[in-house]
Amino acid sequence: MGIEAEPVKTTCPYCGVGCGVIASMDAVGNVSVRGDPDHPANFGRLCSKGSSLGETVGLEGRLLHPEIDGRRASWDEALNLVAGTFRQTIAEHGPDAVAFYVSGQMLTEDYYVANKLMKGFIGSANIDTNSRLCMASSVAGHRRAFGGDVVPGNYEDLELADLIVLVGSNLAWCHPVLFQRIAAAKATRPEMKVVLIDPRRTMSAELADLHLAVKADGDVALFNALLAWLADHGQLDSSYVERHTTGLAEAVAAARALPPSRLAEIAGLSPQEIERFCRLFADTPRVVTIYSQGVNQSESGTDKVNAIINCHLATGRIGKPGCGPFSVTGQPNAMGGREVGGLSNMLAAHMEIESAKDRDTVRRFWNAPRIAEKAGLKAVDLFRAVGEGRIKALWIMATNPVASMPDADAVKAALAACPFVVVSDISAETDTMALAKVKLPATGWGEKDGTVTNSERRISRQRSFLPLVGDMRPDWWIVSEVARRMGFADAFPYEAPAEIFAEYAALTGFENHGRRALDIGAYAGLDEAGYETLPPFQWPRPAQGSPDPARFFGAGGFFTPDGKGCFVPTPVSKPATVGEGAFVLNTGRIRDQWHTMTRTGKSPRLSAHMAEPFAEVNPADAASLGIADADIVEVANGRGKILVRALLSERQQRGAIFVPMHWTDEFAAAARVDVLVAPVTDPVSGQPALKASRADLRRFAAARYGFAVSRTKPAAIGADYWARAACDGGWRIEFAFAEAPADPVAAARTLVGAHETTEMLAYQDNERGDCRLAFFDGGKLVGAFFLSGAPVAVSRSWAVAQLQSPHDSPRDRFRVAAGRGGADKPDAGATVCACFSVGVNQIVAAVAKDGCRDVDAIGRLLKAGTNCGSCRSEIKGLVDAHYVVAAE
């Protein structure tokens, strides 16, 4: 028995809200987390993902030692090989023959040294980040309008606003704590209005007073219509425009280039809907427009950003309490990566690679032998260059591009053909790790020390509270070691992240003189002790002077050469859906998973919310294709195909489908949706259009459907369709066969890992194709296997519970084989509230039988929605849907 550790204040490693977390470890090593009540991002709140962090820090599945060609290696051997191969490749083919592909999961200090090595010492700018997939269009839009990558406002503005416009942002699921902050503000000020602009009626619609179901990529047309309307109706802030901006006339002319009726048609909205939105915007002085991936991940992403910013500049709704355009980032440290030059077209500290003066400034500060002279390859082009053999040595850090990049199979083929692929990560088995020649074990959340920057420019410490196990090392250490072995020891002397942070802070202030917004020069002299206790703070924090770090541009002060904000004309381009197929394929996130599930996939609670990959389809479209709810469907186009579960929903527009981006080959047979996405990018930002590919949909003719629970991780799942998810006590597996398996018992034994000698109980109905098998080791269930000619109608929550229930009596054991709980054990249904494991059937019953009429009443009865609150939108949707039925 060990000693209980002191709680540690750190930061959640998932989304860009950047919530403060207090992590505790008990004497036997169990980790628990709670929200930090003092952190200004969340004031104690956490969403379901943050609340479940303790379930994701176990060592199962971790890479703990360096490997070369699949064999264990020492750090020395692995580092020498990486440094030597990079050095030799550069010597033979030049610096542009190597590349780094890094990640918004990395800490600022990790990012800083990787960028310094590539841009200042290797002399190439071929370092790009998976944040290119996330918010590059926002960066480009900010730079065009503001002269720098600056988010003007802060989270408090979301509570002070009288109108929140959500564009392409399912805030309820993707930034839940911000959504809860808005919901709480709206509850105290019901006059506050929320408009949702999204092709889908997402869970965020539960808070919306108006939902504008734009067509895919109809946003530029909509915001051009708004700008033209504001100009036509005398609603511009002439004083602000005149004193602080340039280019209004050109932007309005571009907006007026098409008549309002045509703009409405392109946006997919009625003129009345647009008029209502325009009046609401014009009549509300305090407006915050929040935008996210629905804006950024588009062929016209940068223009969308500028079309939004144009409306805020034109009305002076920027940089004042409760006002402003607000880009919310997907990743925990997308902002930090932007700050230190993680994007291939930026230098560190927001300096510009195109500027000879900036290049010289950075070169002198680093005393660098060769600074990159031009922008490097952006993510899509970078992997294309790998595929074409132009990049011969690639180092991927903390990301899984084989699952997350568009044209994902081409990326997979490119990595397979690349002469030298290094992957540093925490997970031993990812789709990308499988293709690495050299595998380097990195530290993960809990073991890492450094800083992250959230969406409101707030820098917070991530502090370690877990010991390093095996050979795992921080990313900054690994990169610095390689740099030293490449001959750059003097420039990479770091012993601790505090030293890197202080150097980075000094660079932000170096020859700045107010020229760049990003200035944290006040921390240039920070020592180890100061770094350890560093509280969350917003930039800027220059060494001299004390500008208000809360907001930018309320009184002008842009970072353009003339100090004025720029309107950018945003002509409406052609509809951007790409490729052939009957449906527009939209991709995105779900509430309880994160990226490619390498961490959230470990949590039974999180996996209980949506345990399978799915395609959300409008019921009318499904009917026309003969697709029923819970059928397996094939989504396909010329690039490939995937198999997922059909989820029929009126939330989905006709002619469009939504497929989540989380499932990889590790968790499903064929559900990497990005294999279907064309590598088409925004011409300014290089961000891929991940939300507007085209694909066809058809029912997969399954001869047999199956469901199983297994105490052990299923090793081989020989079904055409399968998806596995962690559950309490083991694994749950959904599957389907195109042809009935010849020997179901053999298939079941393989799936659940049962031996010939394991006790087996069987129930079979040959006419219906039903086969139900349960395997026992004494009173313990080893696994249960249910096969049927139709989707299996066994309660999932009941079956999962059997893994941890005693089965001492023959009657109990037979019940498992029969797939039936006792009458005293009703099916809770699919999990809605992950914190208290409350299912959909329980909530519907609470409405129908117990008279619950709102979310709070459900909370009082079942506790659902009373902890993290991430499920409150779903509960409200269920109450609204079933209250009418119950009342009839």
Binding-site ranges for ligand SF4 (CB under 6 A): 12, 14-15, 17-19, 42, 46-47, 49-50, 175-177
Minimum gap (Å) between residue 732 Cβ and ligand SF4: 24
User: Of the candidates 105, 127, 107, which has an alpha carbon nearest to the alpha carbon of residue 353?
Assistant: 127
Q: How far is the CB of 21 from ligand SF4 (least distance, A)?
A: 7
Nearer to ligand SF4, 21 or 466 (CB): 21
Minimum CB distance to ligand SF4, residue 35 (Å): 7
Beta strands in 248-323, from DSSP E residues, in sequence order: 287-291
What is the closest distance, in whole angstroms, from the C-beta atom of residue 18 to ligand SF4 in the complex?
A: 6
Which is nearer to ligand SF4, 610 or 816 (by Cβ)?
A: 610
Helix ranges restricted to H, 287-406 = 293-296, 301-314, 334-340, 356-366, 379-387, 401-404
Q: How many CB atoms lie within 10 A of CB 253?
A: 13
Query: Which CB sits closer to ligand SF4, 180 or 245?
Result: 180
127 phi/psi in degrees, rounded to 5: -125, 120
Cβ 313 to ligand SF4, closest distance in Å?
A: 29
| Of 10 and 85, CB closest to ligand SF4 | 10
Spatial CA neighbour of 208 closest among 226, 183, 174, 189: 183
Residue labelled with tokens 């449906």: 583
Q: Give CA 7 to chain center in angstroms.
A: 27
C-beta closer to ligand SF4: residue 175 or 412: 175
d(CA 122, CA 678): 32
CB of 176 to ligand SF4, least distance (A): 5
Q: Where are the alpha helices (DSSP H) in 116-237?
A: 136-146, 156-160, 171-174, 176-188, 219-232
Closest CB to ligand SF4 among 177 and 799?
A: 177
- The number of CA neighbours under 13 Å toward the Cβ of 699 is 15
* Nearest partner of 297 among 393, 159, 174, 424, judged by Cα: 174
How many CB atoms lie under 10 A from the CB of residue 429? Answer: 14
Cis peptide bond upstream of 401, omega within 30: no
| 149: nearest Cα among 562, 457, 567 | 457
Closer CB to ligand SF4, residue 50 or residue 319? Answer: 50
> Which residues of 524-673 form beta strands (DSSP E)?
537-538, 565-566, 583-588, 614-617, 632-637, 640-648, 656-660
To ligand SF4, the closest distance from the beta carbon of 751 in angstroms equals 33
Q: Which residue number places its CB atom closest to ligand SF4?
A: 50
Residue 11 CB, nearest approach to ligand SF4 (Å): 8
Structure tokens at 707: 């469901």
Q: 50 vs 753, which CB is nearer to ligand SF4?
A: 50
Using alpha carbons only, give the angle 319, 20, 476 rounded to the nearest 5 degrees: 95
User: Please, what is the minimum distance in Å from the beta carbon of residue 829 to ligand SF4?
Assistant: 24
User: Min. distance of Cβ 55 from ligand SF4 in angstroms?
Assistant: 14
Q: Which residues contact 871 (CB under 8 A, 6 or more apart)?
A: 48, 591, 832, 833, 834, 835, 864, 865
Do 288 and 120 touch, CB atoms closer than 8 A?
A: no
Indicate the residue among 176 and 474 with the shorter CB distance to ligand SF4: 176
Give the integer Cα–Cα distance in Å for 294 and 304.
10
Give the nearest distance from C-beta 432 to ligand SF4 in angstroms: 23
Residue 14 Cβ vs ligand SF4, minimum distance, rounded to whole Å: 3
Nearer to ligand SF4, 306 or 454 (CB): 454
Task: Considering the complex, state which of residue 172 and residue 726 has its C-beta at the smaller distance from ligand SF4.
Answer: 172
Q: Which residue has the tokens 């219509």?
A: 225
What kind and span of H or E run contains 22? strand 20-25
Between 106 and 393, name the residue whose CB sits nearer to ligand SF4.
106
Angle at 487 between CA 485 and CA 491, to 5 degrees: 100
Q: How far apart are the first and last CA of the chain?
A: 59
When the beta carbons of 51 and 124 are compared against ligand SF4, the nearer one is 51
To ligand SF4, the closest distance from the beta carbon of 178 in angstroms equals: 7
CB atoms within 10 A of CB 137: 30
